[in-house]
Chain A
Amino acid sequence: MIASELSNPSEAADPRTVVIEARGLTRYFGNKCAVDSISFQVPRGSVFAFIGRNGAGKTTTIRMILGLLEPTRGSARILGQDSSALQPATRARIGYMAEGHPVYGWMRVGQYAGFQRGFYPHWNQEIFGSVIDFFGIDPRTKAGHLSHGQRAGLHLAMTLAIEPEVLMLDDPATGLDPAARRSLLEAMIYFTRNRERTIFFSTHLLDDVERVADHVAVLDYSVLRVCCSADTFRERVRRLVARFPSEPPRKLPVIPGLLRVTRSENELCLVVANLNGRTERDLEEIGALTVDEQPISLEDALIAHVGRQGDKSFFLDTAGGTQ
């Protein structure tokens, strides 16, 4: 059962334990459904990775949660308040890094601090300065002259300096070099040293997730397919290696939860969600000599889920597949 099938919405979740809550969130752009009836909750103190490919609907979801975009249907709450009517005081408790790190090019980094400080009741100049230093940014530089990574650093500095309760990061690592990405991740880890703080970040770079996230959600082109703890996800996604006496058959039976298939000379490697024992029997029935379960990292599991092809791999020319 997926989240959207669960109906009969109950009362709003307790904001002391749940920071973000989406209920049947749906958004159409014209005739295109960008987000389809997604429902989930983000526990307080978690690092929640919101994963999906480009155009899956991650940014749209974040904007709806922040009340920056009206949903076509459904609702969202953040810090116990309805997203469509977020009060300025609540917004002040939410740090937001927009995708692409847009900046006012004419503003100098030092001016940015003054500008941002003017909006927030709480401002920690020490944090701002530390992050700026961490990313090697000269405060006299115009924001338009910063590199992509430095712009991300500037955004992060502005976001962290207000010491928010919730950090909403929309694809924060896109376009960053490995060193800048590492800096960003360290900053996120630093931020969550306080267990009351929550990070909700969207990404399609999956190696970051394994380092920091304790919860994952996967958006598969507008539909939420996964929403669980990282441990649960690791448990529920399995890799099977089936060995055949000769070339594996090109036609496979219907395998529920099949995410990905790769084949080598006499092996089929399958990544399957919600393994139930029947898959092994099915593989034996088509001639597998042995079927072994192998460990899979969170990153590999996510790659399999996010980039799933079922048995529609170009290595196989079969019908059937997932159900």
Chain B
Amino acid sequence: MKALMWKELRENVKWISLPGLAILLVVLIDKPELPMFAATDTYFFCAIAAVFGAALGFVQIFFEGHGDKRSLLLHRPLSPLRIFLAKALVGVGLYLLALGIPFLCLETWLATPGNMPAPFHWKTSLPWLADILSGLAYYFAGMLVAQREAHWLGSRSLPLAAAIFCSCLVWGLTEFWQALAAIALFASFMSLAAWSSFISGGAYDRQPRIGRVGLVTTLLAGLLLVSMLVKQLIGVGFGSEVIYVCDLTRQGRVLMAPCRENDGKIGPWLDARTGQEATDINASLRESRLMATWTEMETPLYESYRNSGRFYVLCANDSKPGRERWFYDQEQHRLHGYHKVYNHFLGSFGPTGFTPAGEQLGESFQGDLCHRRTRWFAFDRDLLAFPRAVYRVDYSKRTIDLFFAPAAEETVAYSEWWKGGLDDNKKLAVISTDRSFHFLTETGEPVVTVPRAYGTKHGYVIGVGMLESPARYFVWYRTWPFEPSLGPEEYRSKVFHLYEYDLAGKELADLDHQPRSAEASYAKALFGLATPMTEAATLVGLSESLRSQVRSEGRAHKPVLLDYLFSIRHYIPGTSRYEQNPTGLLPGYIALLLLAAAACALACFMVGHRFAYSPARCTGWALAGALFGWVGLVLMLVVHDWPALIVCPKCRKPRVVTRDFCEHCGAQHAAPVADSTEIFDSAAAAPGVALATTP
């Protein structure tokens, strides 16, 4: 085994520098400015790991996996398992070395003070580490692609789709350990599949049972990903889903307009109160001077180990010198500053003041910083809001002031600036608490406080601002069509509330209006023919489960996976929150789904029967057809080595060549036709065998 490992090492070590060079190229082009790489960089790093892993696995097997080279390789006094292990151990080792060295170098460089104007947390390297480890799934996928006997554009590339599935999970799961578990799971069954395909030369039927399980699981994962992506593409491409968008004029008139999701075409605008077309409003309302300005308050935080907001939040305001960068450190609960050019540490803010670099850090802020996040990063903060206080920092003077302190029974939820826009230079700070919204001047003088009607748990997106003619404050509780934490029924049942308050904070009006929903097309039911029941049940069930988890946590957080699952609205009727299901759509969809499942189950059974599978095997595949629909049927077709069928000389029915006896009549195979030129020694000496006797 050592000799083989040496050979593998010697053959493949030449590729080891390629990923490092590619990573260096990305770093040089993009010049990352933050210790946690931006999503675009990590996309590239993920792609580098995937391509290198798949290519290495492919190269190790393909050029030695067929014909005489394979024969020579396997005819070694080593078990096939040890031959595979020798290849895989060297391959995995080289892969980890090729990706691990750049990873360690770059992370060490980032961690060294003075190299990056930002704080470093070792956990910020976990996303890249997860991507590197997920490359192992690509490595085994590459091996499988190289040795499977299938068409290049057909099922041969399916293992790669399974590896992409693994990457999707690695990106979508909330915690690093969950991503590790997904990688371990995928790498396990894909390595089993690669091993068993290696020892069987790519054939399926003679693989060990555990290897077959691995191969079936790999191909199933790949097919399911293809199934979801193709349906999504069809749904997006041919669908004409309509979302009703809402807007608010500067005078407080709520407008709604249908917007086609695939091309963004808007109009006509309707008055939300009367339902009549607002003829005085043109379609380009968003660009017009008519629109009110508001600031949005807290929303559920995206939770992911890949989100930089878990570790730091960039902070800035008008007082910040251009050559400085300030980060709120989520672990140390302090605001750290760095020189942008020289990268050195400037000092740190705490609630009691500024601590220059080199001095003992003072007190930390109490509670978590109130902020908002996209999937992968946190929005910059101006005011530093914490549950018990809001601070304002003057970066150039190195001072920090208490901007707002809530009453004892109140807890701050968020803070943001509201600006009047257009010619109106008015600027107010809006601080939301669990009970009210506080409007303050730029210097922190209270202006007005209005009550809060709905808390975070109600799932509203809250817009706060001012209206004109007459001047008044408003709080608009509405829902957003793309907010994944709301279920379809929940979204449609939510009533929008526009509360208006006079300048003294007295409630003037509570204007309710119902969000509109377009009707889904009946054509969507056709997706039932192409959707396996397990896929539909899993996706819908998982979405519901994640939403219920979000609800149970008071809608403070939401997982990225829930966002990914939002795409199922394109092909599973009933999951879209902005579309009403017309009568009969859902039953029609389910009926077609069941019909397709039954047809696929029958097809699987018939195909199995035709190729003389045992009743148990036929039933097993029929069950796969029922559960996985066309995916089960295609899986059966791509996974098996379909034996040739020849006509039985006795019963004249087609019979498989793999069996000694006809599955219909029990006859043996016909002997090759003799032509009187046969010459055999002592045939009678050993019945059934031509014996070449020793002279």
Of the stretches B76-84, B229-237, B260-268, B334-342, the one at the interface is B76-84
Asked if B657 contacts A305 (CB within 8 A), the reply is no
Q: Encode contact with A along B303-334: 1 for CB under 8 Å, 0 otherwise.
A: 00000000000000000000000000000000
Interface residue? B200 (CB, 8 A): yes
Interface residue? B154 (CB, 8 A): no
Interface residue? A96 (CB, 8 A): yes
Most buried by A among B659, B669, B675: B675
Of residues 53 to 111 in A, which have CB atoms within 8 Å of B's CB atoms?
63, 66, 68-70, 72-73, 88-89, 91-92, 94, 96, 98-100, 102, 104, 106-107
Please report the C-alpha to C-alpha distance between residue A128 and residue B679 in the assembled complex, in whole angstroms: 39
Give, as a whole number of angstroms, the nearest-CB distance from A174 to chain B. Answer: 11
Please report the C-alpha to C-alpha distance between residue A237 and residue B677 in the assembled complex, in whole angstroms: 9
Asked if B10 contacts A46 (CB within 8 A), the reply is no
Q: Encode contact with A along B658-678: 1 for CB under 8 Å, 0 otherwise.
A: 111000000011011011111
User: B695 to chain A: which residues have CB within 8 Å?
Assistant: 214, 229-231
Give, as a whole number of angstroms, the nearest-CB distance from B82 to chain A. Answer: 8
Please report the C-alpha to C-alpha distance between residue A39 and residue B685 in the assembled complex, in whole angstroms: 13
Of the stretches A20-28, A131-139, A240-248, A287-295, the one at the interface is A20-28
Please report the C-alpha to C-alpha distance between residue A39 and residue B692 in the assembled complex, in whole angstroms: 11
Of the stretches B1-9, B373-381, B505-513, B516-524, the one at the interface is B1-9
Give, as a whole number of angstroms, the nearest-CB distance from B470 to chain A. Answer: 84
Interface residue? A30 (CB, 8 A): yes
Of the stretches A8-16, A183-191, A203-211, the one at the interface is A8-16
Please report the C-alpha to C-alpha distance between residue A37 and residue B673 in the assembled complex, in whole angstroms: 11
Contact of B689 (CB < 8 Å), options: A41, A44, A66? A41
Interface residue? A285 (CB, 8 A): no
Asked if B678 contacts A2 (CB within 8 A), the reply is yes
Interface residue? A45 (CB, 8 A): yes
Interface residue? A250 (CB, 8 A): no
Asked if A7 contacts B657 (CB within 8 A), the reply is no
Contact of A37 (CB < 8 Å), options: B10, B69, B669? B669
Contact of B686 (CB < 8 Å), options: A10, A37, A229? A10
Interface residue? B425 (CB, 8 A): no
Asked if B675 contacts A323 (CB within 8 A), the reply is yes
User: B69 to chain A: which residues have CB within 8 Å?
Assistant: 98, 102
Contact of B679 (CB < 8 Å), options: A99, A102, A232? A232
User: A2 to chain B: which residues have CB within 8 Å?
Assistant: 671-672, 674, 678, 680, 690
Asked if A229 contacts B681 (CB within 8 A), the reply is yes
Give, as a whole number of angstroms, the nearest-CB distance from B70 to chain A. Answer: 7
Of residues 203 to 223 in B, which have CB atoms within 8 Å of A's CB atoms?
203, 206
Contact of B677 (CB < 8 Å), options: A73, A230, A322? A322
Please report the C-alpha to C-alpha distance between residue A37 and residue B671 in the assembled complex, in whole angstroms: 7
User: A106 to chain B: which residues have CB within 8 Å?
Assistant: 10-11
Q: Across the two chains, which residue of chain A brings its CB closest to B5?
A: A118
User: A269 to chain B: which residues have CB within 8 Å?
Assistant: none
Of residues 583 to 599 in B, which have CB atoms within 8 Å of A's CB atoms?
none
Q: Across the two chains, which residue of chain A brings its CB closest to B68?
A: A98
Please report the C-alpha to C-alpha distance between residue A46 and residue B76 in the assembled complex, in whole angstroms: 24
Asked if A41 contacts B692 (CB within 8 A), the reply is yes
Contact of B68 (CB < 8 Å), options: A37, A40, A100, A120? A100
User: B643 to chain A: which residues have CB within 8 Å?
Assistant: 28, 72
Give, as a whole number of angstroms, the nearest-CB distance from A181 to chain B. Answer: 19
User: A223 to chain B: which residues have CB within 8 Å?
Assistant: 672
Asked if A215 contacts B692 (CB within 8 A), the reply is yes
Asked if B688 contacts A8 (CB within 8 A), the reply is yes
Chain B interface residue count, Cβ-Cβ cutoff 8 angstroms: 52
Of residues 63 to 80 in B, which have CB atoms within 8 Å of A's CB atoms?
67-72, 74-79
Give, as a whole number of angstroms, the nearest-CB distance from A42 to chain B. Answer: 6
User: A28 to chain B: which residues have CB within 8 Å?
Assistant: 643-644, 657
Q: Across the two chains, which residue of chain B brings its CB closest to A116?
A: B3
Range, interface on chain A: 35 or more
Q: Across the two chains, which residue of chain B brings its CB closest to A43?
A: B694
User: A169 to chain B: which residues have CB within 8 Å?
Assistant: none
Asked if A6 contacts B74 (CB within 8 A), the reply is no
Q: Across the two chains, which residue of chain B brings its CB closest to A39?
A: B689
Of residues 49 to 103 in B, which have CB atoms within 8 Å of A's CB atoms?
67-72, 74-79
Give, as a whole number of angstroms, the nearest-CB distance from B45 to chain A. Answer: 31
User: A68 to chain B: which residues have CB within 8 Å?
Assistant: 70-71, 74-75, 201
Give, as a whole number of angstroms, the nearest-CB distance from B687 to chain A. Answer: 5
Give, as a whole number of angstroms, the nearest-CB distance from B86 to chain A. Answer: 11
Interface residue? A233 (CB, 8 A): yes
> Is the contact region of chain A dominated by helix, strand, or loop, or is it mixed?
mixed
Asked if A227 contacts B680 (CB within 8 A), the reply is yes
Please report the C-alpha to C-alpha distance between residue A259 and residue B72 in the assembled complex, in whole angstroms: 36
User: A9 to chain B: which residues have CB within 8 Å?
Assistant: 687-689
Q: Across the two chains, which residue of chain A brings its CB closest to B74?
A: A68
User: B203 to chain A: which residues have CB within 8 Å?
Assistant: 70
Interface residue? B453 (CB, 8 A): no
Interface residue? B21 (CB, 8 A): no
Asked if B680 contacts A45 (CB within 8 A), the reply is no
Asked if A225 contacts B78 (CB within 8 A), the reply is no
Query: Given that A99-B68, A120-B77, A224-B690 are known contacts, is A233 also in contact with B657, CB under 8 Å in the complex?
Result: no
Query: Given that A226-B678, A237-B679 are known contacts, is A119 also in contact with B657, CB under 8 Å in the complex?
Result: no
Q: Across the two chains, which residue of chain B brings its CB closest to A218?
A: B679
Q: Across the two chains, which residue of chain B brings its CB closest to A98?
A: B68
Interface residue? B683 (CB, 8 A): yes
Asked if A39 contacts B677 (CB within 8 A), the reply is no
Give, as a whole number of angstroms, the nearest-CB distance from A305 to chain B. Answer: 7
Of residues 635 to 651 in B, which have CB atoms within 8 Å of A's CB atoms?
643-644
Asked if A229 contacts B71 (CB within 8 A), the reply is no
Interface residue? B469 (CB, 8 A): no
Asked if A115 contacts B690 (CB within 8 A), the reply is no
Interface residue? B614 (CB, 8 A): no
Interface residue? A252 (CB, 8 A): no
User: B681 to chain A: which residues have CB within 8 Å?
Assistant: 227-229, 232
Give, as a whole number of angstroms, the nearest-CB distance from B684 to chain A. Answer: 9
Please report the C-alpha to C-alpha distance between residue A74 and residue B643 in the assembled complex, in whole angstroms: 15
Give, as a whole number of angstroms, the nearest-CB distance from A8 to chain B. Answer: 5
Asked if B676 contacts A257 (CB within 8 A), the reply is yes
Give, as a whole number of angstroms, the nearest-CB distance from A203 to chain B. Answer: 16
Query: Given that A41-B692, A92-B77, A102-B69 are known contacts, is A256 also in contact with B687, CB under 8 Å in the complex?
Result: no
Asked if A226 contacts B680 (CB within 8 A), the reply is yes
Please report the C-alpha to C-alpha distance between residue A314 and residue B11 in the assembled complex, in whole angstroms: 53
Give, as a whole number of angstroms, the nearest-CB distance from A226 to chain B. Answer: 5
Please report the C-alpha to C-alpha distance between residue A262 and residue B687 in the assembled complex, in whole angstroms: 37
Interface residue? B693 (CB, 8 A): yes
Asked if B3 contacts A7 (CB within 8 A), the reply is no
User: B72 to chain A: which residues have CB within 8 Å?
Assistant: 96, 98, 102
Give, as a whole number of angstroms, the nearest-CB distance from B461 to chain A. Answer: 60
Asked if B78 contacts A119 (CB within 8 A), the reply is yes
User: B6 to chain A: which residues have CB within 8 Å?
Assistant: 115, 118
Interface residue? B18 (CB, 8 A): no
Interface residue? B691 (CB, 8 A): yes
**Besides A99-B68, A170-B68, 18 other A-B contacts (C-beta < 8 A):** A8-B687, A13-B686, A23-B689, A24-B688, A39-B690, A43-B694, A70-B203, A88-B79, A91-B77, A98-B72, A100-B68, A104-B7, A116-B3, A214-B694, A227-B681, A229-B681, A257-B676, A273-B679
28 contacts between A and B (CB under 8 A): A2-B672, A3-B689, A4-B672, A28-B657, A36-B672, A37-B669, A37-B672, A41-B690, A41-B692, A43-B691, A46-B692, A48-B692, A66-B75, A68-B70, A70-B203, A72-B658, A73-B669, A88-B78, A99-B68, A114-B3, A115-B7, A119-B77, A120-B77, A225-B678, A229-B692, A258-B677, A274-B678, A274-B679
Return the 10 tightest CB-CB contacts between A and B, nearest first.
A118-B3, A3-B690, A92-B77, A227-B690, A98-B68, A228-B681, A256-B676, A88-B77, A215-B692, A223-B672
Taking beta carbons and an 8 Å cutoff, which residues of A are in contact with B? Answer: 1-10, 13, 21, 23-24, 26, 28, 30-33, 36-37, 39-46, 48, 63, 66, 68-70, 72-73, 88-89, 91-92, 94, 96, 98-100, 102, 104, 106-107, 114-121, 170, 214-215, 217, 222-233, 236-237, 256-259, 273-274, 305, 308, 322-323
